[in-house]
Structure 1
Amino acid sequence: MSQSTTTTGGTRLSITTFTTGLRGRHLTRRLAQLYAGLALYGISSALLVRGGLGLEPWGVLHQGLAERTGLTIGVVSIVVGAVVLLLWIPIRQRPGLGTVSNVFVIGVAMDGTLALVPDVHGLAGQIPLMIVGIVLNGMATGLYIAARFGPGPRDGLMTGLHRLTGRSIRLVRTALEVAVVSSGFVLGGSVGVGTVLYALSIGPLAQFFLRRFAIPEVSARSTVVASGSPEQAILPR
Structure 2
Amino acid sequence: MSLLTPIPADRRIRRFGQLVVGLLLYGFTMGLMVRAVFGLDPWDVFHQGVTKVLGHWVDISYGTVITVVSVIVLLAWIPLRQRPGVGTILNAAIIGWTTDATLSVVPATGILTVRILMLVIAVLGNAVAGGLYIGAGLGPGPRDGLMTGLVARGVGSVRVVRTGIELTVLLIGAAMGGSIGFATVVYALAIGPLLQVFLPRLSVRSRGADGDREMFGSGAAVAVEGVEGR
TM-score (norm 1): 0.87
Say which of 184, 200, 218 aligns to 1:211: 200
Amino acid in structure 2 at the alignment position of 1:194: A
Contact 1:99 1:151 in 2 (8 A): yes
Aligned-pair distance for 1:49? Answer: 0.2
Say which of 216, 221, 226 aligns to 1:231: 221
Aligned-pair distance for 1:226? Answer: 11
Mapped pair 1:15 → 2:6: no
Equivalence for 2:77: 88
- Aligned partners of 1:164 and 1:196: how far apart in 2? 30
Say which of 192, 202, 212 aligns to 2:191: 202
Equivalence for 2:171: 182
Aligned-pair distance for 1:92? Answer: 0.4
Runs of 4 or more, structure 1, over 2 Å off, are 218-221, 224-229, 234-237
- Aligned partners of 1:40 and 1:200: how far apart in 2? 20
**C-alpha root-mean-square deviation of aligned residues, in Å?**
1.9
Q: Secondary structure at 2:180's aligned position in 1?
A: coil
Unaligned runs of 5+ in 2: none
Mapped pair 1:159 → 2:148: yes
- Aligned partners of 1:123 and 1:111: how far apart in 2? 23
Say which of 34, 41, 46 aligns to 2:19: 34
104-113 or 118-127, larger mean C-alpha shift: 118-127
Aligned-pair distance for 1:34? Answer: 0.5
Equivalence for 1:10: none
- Aligned partners of 1:226 and 1:206: how far apart in 2? 14
Say which of 85, 93, 108 aligns to 1:119: 108
- Aligned partners of 1:139 and 1:127: how far apart in 2? 18
Q: Percent identity?
A: 42
Contact 1:93 1:226 in 2 (8 A): no
Question: How many residue pairs were aligned?
Answer: 220
Q: 1:228 to 1:161 in 2, by over 3 A?
A: farther
The correspondence of residues 25-174 of structure 1 with structure 2, limited to 5 A, is: 26-70=11-55, 71-174=60-163
Aligned-pair distance for 1:93? Answer: 0.5
Aligned-pair distance for 1:236? Answer: 2.7
206-215 or 80-89, larger mean C-alpha shift: 206-215
Unaligned runs of 5+ in 1: 1-13
Q: 1:218 to 1:21 in 2, by over 3 A?
A: farther
TM-score (norm 2): 0.90
- Aligned partners of 2:150 and 2:109: how far apart in 1? 39
Q: Secondary structure at 2:153's aligned position in 1?
A: helix
- Aligned partners of 2:144 and 2:181: how far apart in 1? 23
